[in-house]
Amino acid sequence: MNAQHLAFGHFEFTAENGCLLRDSRPVAIGARGASLLAALLAAEGGVVSKSALMDAVWPGLTVEESNLSVQIAALRKLLGPAQDGSGWIVTVPRVGYRFLGPVESLTDRADGGWHARARSNPGIAVLPFENLGGDTERQYLVEGIADDLIMALAQFRWFRVASRGASFTRRNGSRDPQAVASELGVDFLVDGAIRHTGERIRISVHLADAMKGATVWSEHYDLQLDEVFAVQDAIAERIAAAVEPELLLRHGLPVAPHTGNITAWDLVRQGTFHFHKVSQPTHLLARQFFRQAAELDPMLPEAQIWRARVNAGLIAYGWTENSTADGKEGLDAALRAIYLDARNPYSHYALAIVSAYTGRAEQAILAAERSIELGSSFALGHLVLGMARLFSGDAAGARKPLARGLELNPNDPQNRVWFSLLMLALLFSGDIEGALETGRTALKARPDWPALLRIQACCHAAAGHREQAHRFGAAARDLPETAGDALGPFRDGNKEWATRLNALLREAEL
């Protein structure tokens, strides 16, 4: 049996890149778990000794046997029971372990099913970071950051992540990005470099579309090297949060409407492509795709997540003809998403954003908090938590989650709204200078959004800067008016704040 592409139960697995799918959707399996599973499957039902498994999982290292027991237990938990209720992995006392159950090779399957499903999601590989200073004593940090990034990215559902072993082996064997991506079966590559200067560390990160040879995203971080693990966690969290939306947007660009046979997942991808254009026609078109996906596959949580999000967007921007009906559809979809995939932070974000725009601020706060519990680097969870707190009248409590969400994800297509909310939270919690500084950052990214200009005018008026207030107010009037600014619940739930804003804006227009 060729051990590269295998199927057992609801699972499909490729040893080459450590990709594990359950019902055609990626499962977050660590590098050690993937190596362990590959070794067990390669034995074709035979017993694999403990020493052989330890060599496969920790090559060249001396580790305690208890570490193997921990990894076996974690893999058993990840796979769950087989169809007959038994376990996939059995212990052979004093010898090792054996994988039970029928295993099918998919490598030569005529219909190409495995490849079609495995490639339905974009793939990403994290390559070893370069140690520019050549400090061998800190090589562990260089490799540790790449390891942590792999694990952080593996938590997200929108793309496959190649295992550490596959990524590092291919990078060492080839420096050509297209060759590496082709061998790993991925679309995107993340690499970077680390330089130490005294107690400071600079980490540069680069995300590339390997097949097109194009840079998608790059950034560098300057940090104090006070606590190694804190640095690793911070970098992995920031990169994972920034890479995820870039991948989702980038991978959706080539998608065009289909004719003929189409899968629910393809419909979701087409819908997200239109959703991120953020206009009334594209939101309505996106909703059609999400509705079709939900009808075609009622068990696909992503279809419900996006159906909830698009209905929230239609209400937020004033693009709905029946806000009550759209709100109900959105809430129903979000609750269905949680029922289908309760451990997906996007499911709870969907409930939070719909709740925020249907007058359920307390429910929105609870759902947002749950999404963050499931993924601490989940930028949208922090952002919607700040939104819900602001809508409920807690300006001071909204500041930290909004700032954190924007720090994690500075490139969200709808950041104009999040920046507006942070400016308002700062203004009405008494930090006018902070609101002005946030406005300057926001207007660099979105100088065409009238609501940002108006809020900036109000902040200058509140600070007594009459000339600047007048200038920003005039600039807002010169721009084409948008259908909505997504701030309706802020005004409706905080009448005194809304009155104060109107007074400041009139002052700016004098």
Across the chain, which has 510 residues, the per-10-residue mean pLDDT values are 71 76 69 85 89 86 83 88 82 89 66 42 79 75 74 64 57 61 77 82 82 76 67 63 62 40 70 86 94 88 93 95 96 94 89 96 96 84 96 96 86 84 96 95 89 94 94 90 84 92 88
Tokens linked to 31: 């590098």
Helix (H) or strand (E) segment spanning residue 91: strand 89-92
Query: In CATH, what number is assigned to the domain containing residue 131?
Result: 3.40.50.10070
Residue 142: partners with Cβ closer than 8 Å, 6 or more residues away? 128, 129, 130, 131, 194
Q: Looking at the structure, do residues 149 and 53 belong to the same domain, yes or no?
A: no
Q: Looking at the structure, do residues 112 and 128 belong to the same domain, yes or no?
A: no
Q: Looking at the structure, do residues 97 and 143 belong to the same domain, yes or no?
A: no
Q: Looking at the structure, do residues 305 and 204 belong to the same domain, yes or no?
A: no
Domain count along the chain = 3
Please tell me the predicted confidence (pLDDT) of residue 469: 93
- Domain final position from 96, 118, 140: 118
Using an 8 Å Cβ cutoff, are 347 and 301 in contact? yes
pTM flag (> 0.75):
no
Please tell me the predicted confidence (pLDDT) of residue 114: 36
Q: Is 377 within the bounds of a domain? A: yes
- Domain final position from 252, 287, 315: 252
Print the domain residue range for 42: 5-118
Beta strands in 93-184 (DSSP E): 96-99, 104-105, 123-126, 130-131, 160-161
Q: Looking at the structure, do residues 273 and 367 belong to the same domain, yes or no?
A: yes
Q: Is 259 within the bounds of a domain? A: no
Using DSSP bridges, classify how beta strands 89-92 and 25-27 pair: parallel, antiparallel or unpaired. Answer: unpaired
Q: Is 258 within the bounds of a domain? A: no
Q: Looking at the structure, do residues 216 and 313 belong to the same domain, yes or no?
A: no
Q: Looking at the structure, do residues 179 and 98 belong to the same domain, yes or no?
A: no
Q: Looking at the structure, do residues 338 and 446 belong to the same domain, yes or no?
A: yes
Tokens linked to 136: 């061998």
Q: Looking at the structure, do residues 288 and 419 belong to the same domain, yes or no?
A: yes
Query: Which residues are 191's β-sheet partners?
Result: 206
CA 436 vs CA 59, 395, 440, 442, 452: distances in Å:
55, 16, 6, 10, 11
Residue matched to tokens 């074709």: 44
Q: Looking at the structure, do residues 133 and 163 belong to the same domain, yes or no?
A: yes
Query: In CATH, what number is assigned to the domain containing residue 341?
Result: 1.25.40.10
Please tell me the predicted confidence (pLDDT) of residue 256: 37
- Domain final position from 252, 279, 312: 252
Q: What is the CA radius of gyration of the chain?
A: 25
Q: Looking at the structure, do residues 192 and 336 belong to the same domain, yes or no?
A: no
Q: Is 257 within the bounds of a domain? A: no
Please tell me the predicted confidence (pLDDT) of residue 422: 97
CA distance 355 to 369: 13
Q: Looking at the structure, do residues 25 and 146 belong to the same domain, yes or no?
A: no
